[in-house]
Structure 1
């Protein structure tokens, strides 16, 4: 079960990788079309506004089509064969499902208290999917249908039919079975989902009612789930679905940027629902403090070399929001530091929330700038300056606390090991080794996992190669994987996650070629 959950979490992360660029486009487009900042130049009648509005509307594509995006993305990570064909099957059957729901509601919706003629917006429980007015099931509906199609695909795609029925084999056979399966699923959806929507509304009020304490608890749990690769499951429904706000925090924030830019009120007053994206503050403020603590507690003879290694992994965390390279350097060596890291992350999020600052703050500096500072700096610069002041103060707290614990407990963090044979690798080291012996490194990782015969299947998320194995006893330990040039590995039962970095997609392709 844990293996399946981890694979699901990795698949969920695939479309999230598109958000950084889409967010930059939305941020810049919103900035240049905000009349409160550019005055008459940005009036809706001006050529300036109309040209930038074209760019802005294109940037919103990802956020307005999230259900379709997740429907197509899930098979990439979960289909066991012919992933691309499964993506097509999932898309077609999801559209078929919504057409079924739409026609059923148009004929019997009045008996269920659902008026299909009402405008598809928050209070109507309706939405539009690819031009189809249907029940608003958000990401849950999209993932549910996609998961069902993946199940059908994995089971029936290679079903052998008589030769005279060969034209109906493969994707066509999956579509045929899925077509009839969507009929009862659509009936169940229109009977059950309206009640679920009422429960979700109650959940939203409960979450919002927890206030600042709820924000801290959310950030703490998200951090603790990172070693298990389950953190995506915690935040995805908050960020991309209707648990907190209709359409998800990311999507709704993008649509509200013009109103936010036009007001100087505290951001928490304008968008209290955005409080739960505060997981990124530890990335841009906490990781530099951790790196400083590692440097100043390292042996003097190791500091120069350690600095060359700390700089790229810290910049990766700060700029891109990818913290695994630095966090996994101490997670296994000193897990107490990771717990302290989670506590400090929660405290920082709570302090910033108490100061009335909310926004899209789950990624690194690039994402934060595109969603917040670029479009909103003109009207909320005082709050952002306060945010940086508090954040930098917490950088100092991270440094002092980590330094104290490392020295007090004599923890063997990077640069303090008695033997320096095991190290984490910089980006330049990794690229140099790839240019000469790229295939050899992948081969060694495969051997460290027990060889081909020990591999069940393989997927990846943003930074990790996720492998299900037959016998965990033959898999080498974390330090052995680090010695190969990776950032280490996590073994949980028959599930192994090898920390590769942002080049994991290419690494997986070569790994699968060897299989």
Structure 2
């Protein structure tokens, strides 16, 4: 079950990667017309509407993205299946349709059906689409139905399956929705403390790869919170000084805290390992600061020093709680890095974006002092304190194909060779493999490439944390296979 949830989390990275486009369009649009939000400028209105076309259809993007991501060969037919499932379910359970089934006025239909087009249903549709694709893509039908054999039958099977799922959801969706709303409302009722609790859980669930499920409740319109969407649109339900509370406190962590933590890890590294540690930590710190991508840094100490990662999760919760209690709101479309901070200055719900600088500086000092103290006090094996000979630094490669070929070859050998690879895939920062024999995996050999970490969720799965250059290593591994 955990492995399945991790695969869902991995597949969500595909549609989430589209969100920066919306952030750029929103940001430029609001910079052009920060007061009228598009009403005073045709160009601004055009850009904001273009961004809304992405944000307003996140559930649909999730349906397609998850369906592609969870299909075994990432083939386009699975995307069509996910789309079919989403359209079927949302149409069959729309407010108008339910009112017709029950023979009542639309006003008497439970609120839950008015929210049927949400991230949760999008993810569910993607699961249905990919499952039908994986199961029926090779189906051979009798000659008189041969035209519908193989991949052509997948969409038909998906449609039939979606009808059955819609019937089931007709009865249980109101209960699921009520549960999600109750959870979200309980966190909202805790104010800043609730925001901090959410943020701490967000970081704590990253090792399991299921933090996106939690994000769907608070960032998107799954449980009437929609912090991300309302921050950028200023639509009904947005409250100045409140909306954005589940995003703001991540900026001090990603732009200042983690880079300062990286500096502490560098200063505490062994003298003989400082040069190697510097290359990796600098790349990770820059990725965190500029784009908000934190996995390369977090995985560098997550499993080798879990106590330090727990400290990081707690500090993240404190940051979000403190920021939520202050007159300070900024938001992101992708992650809490420099780009999104600049773009959010003129967003409808932005409040004192400049406050990030003093808060971030304080956060950086706290991270450096706490990380340095904990590392030295407990002699933690952070980068530069665990020795690996003959290391090839991924972070130092400049796009040289031979470097990636060498790294891919070492990783492949460490995974037990070609014959031990059953499935190969990747997400934003990780190589993901399914293997035949776990005893053939040599983690130390893999770590010699300078990777951020090696995760083994179970006996058949190995994940190698590469960082932002994962695609290049993945492509070389595919060629080697």
| TM-score, structure 1 as length reference | 0.83
The runs of 5 or more residues in structure 2 that have no matched partner are: none
Q: Which residue of 1 aligns with 2:207?
A: 227
Instruction: Assess if the C-alpha contact under 8 Å between 2:230 and 2:243 holds in 1.
Output: no
Q: 1:456 aligns with which of 396, 419, 422?
A: 422
Does 1:293 pair with 2:264? Answer: yes
More off after superposition, 466-475 vs 353-362: 353-362
Q: What does residue range 489-504 of structure 1 map to in structure 2 within 5 Å?
A: 489-493=454-458, 494-504=460-470
Q: CA RMSD in A?
A: 3.0
Shift of residue 422, structure 1, vs aligned partner = 6.3
| 1:327 match | 298
CA distance in structure 2 between the aligned counterparts of 1:199 and 1:331, rounded to whole angstroms: 32
Pair member with larger Rg: 1
| Pairing 1:388–2:357 present | yes
1:141 matched to 2:141? The reply is no
**Separation in structure 1 between the aligned mates of residue 74 and residue 35 of structure 2, nearest angstrom:** 49
CA distance in 1, matches of 2:152, 2:141: 12
Q: Distance in 2 between matches of 1:244 and 1:104?
A: 22
3-state SS in 1 of match to 2:434: strand
The answer to whether 1:369 aligns with 2:342 is yes
Structure with more helix by fraction:
1
Residue 54 of structure 1 is aligned with which of 46, 52, 75? 46
- Structure 1, unmatched stretches of 5+, are 37-41, 128-134, 261-268
Farther off after superposition, 304-313 or 318-327: 304-313
Shift of 1:412: 4.1
> How far apart, CA to CA, are the structure 2 residues paired with 1:6 and 1:34?
40
Q: Deviations over 1:442-471 (max 9, x none)?
A: 233222112333333233221111222233
- Equivalence for 1:425: 393
Choose 502-511 or 230-239, whichever is displaced more: 502-511
Q: Distance in 2 between matches of 1:141 and 1:376?
A: 28
Deviations 1:384-438 (A, max 9, x none): 3333212211211111122222233333433445x56265835333634xx2253
Shift of 1:194: 3.6
Task: Tell me the CA shift for residue 356 of structure 1.
Answer: 3.5
Secondary structure of the residue aligned to 2:423 is strand
Shift of 1:69: 0.6
> How far apart are 1:485 and its partner, in Å?
4.3
* Contact 1:455 1:468 (C-alpha < 8 Å) held by counterparts: yes
Contact preservation (8 Å) 2:60, 2:122: yes
Q: 1:513 to 1:77 in 2, by over 3 A?
A: farther
- State the shift of 1:305 in Å: 5.8
1:219 is displaced (CA, Å) by 1.6
- Helix, strand or coil at the partner of 1:492: strand
- Specify the alignment match of 1:131 in structure 2: none
Spell out, residue by residue over 1:289-347, the C-alpha distance to the aligned partner (whole angstroms, 9 max, x if none). 11221233334565566444432221111111112222233333332222222222222
Once the two structures are superposed, the pairs formed by residues 348-359 of structure 1 within 5 Å of their partners are 348-359=319-330
Would you say the 8 A contact 2:38–2:45 is kept in 1?
no
Residue 366 of structure 2 corresponds to: 397
DSSP-derived class of the 1:399 partner: helix
Alpha carbons of structure 1 residues 80 and 302: separation in structure 2 relative to 1, 3 Å: closer
Which residue is equivalent to 1:249?
227
Describe the superposition over 1:337-391 as per-residue Cα deviations: whole angstroms up to 9, x where unpaired.
2222222222222222222433425521212322x224369x733xx33332122
> Which residue number in structure 2 is paired with residue 276 of structure 1?
246
2:445 pairs, out of 456, 474, 480, with 480
Q: Give the Cα–Cα distance (whole angstroms) in 1 for the partners of residues 326 and 337 of structure 2.
A: 21
Match of 1:108 among 94, 101, 114: 101
